[in-house]
Structure 1
């Protein structure tokens, strides 16, 4: 009996829905907003917690699973013709992945890619920026606001188990 996770962008909350059978098509409305249809999320098989813990910064942002799958399939085809000696081609693929999935590059990753586009040596960039690149999340979920793109707070996780 599966439990499905759904995300509401309006209230920035992840909800859990219980189903007595496998159901990959039903999309419920938000339990809080009532009218907003939710977005199905990729979820882990189990989550072990000690009581009520807030989501950590290591948790993945909600991602549209079908959008990610289409992007990965498209990029897989393009990778066959890539020249491994030309880092600019790898940068173009990385930027395309970001555009297709809605993932935003972190500041360090953006700087590293910009330097590679200018023709700098990738190994030199990695050596100089290793600490920064290791300390930041390379991707975040881009959220649109009326003033442009900004980072949105981690979604709240509603621990209630709703019926699907």
Structure 2
């Protein structure tokens, strides 16, 4: 059950009360003057995350797995032929190879 902070309307005494979430603030009795009619005040609260899930945990784990797979992939031998370093000319299409001689192109 949550702890709420109250201020009495009659004597302005501030106090805390452990109540159900469904309890009405108007029915809360002041411990100092024993009168009904307290006002619930806004206050800070603390929360605790239980378990292994923390914000961002799944995303961090996914990126770690991706990086690990990419490292393994870079160490594999090429599927066919020799591995060639890609140059900027290859990417722009300027270094396109001419068709072999003796063929109609």
Fold match (TM-score > 0.5): no
Higher strand share: 1
TM-score bucket of the superposed structures, by smaller chain: 0.3 to 0.5
Where relative contact order (Cα < 8 A, 6+ residues apart) is larger, the structure is: 1
Larger relative helix fraction: 1
TM (norm. structure 2) is: 0.36
TM-score, with structure 1 as normaliser: 0.24
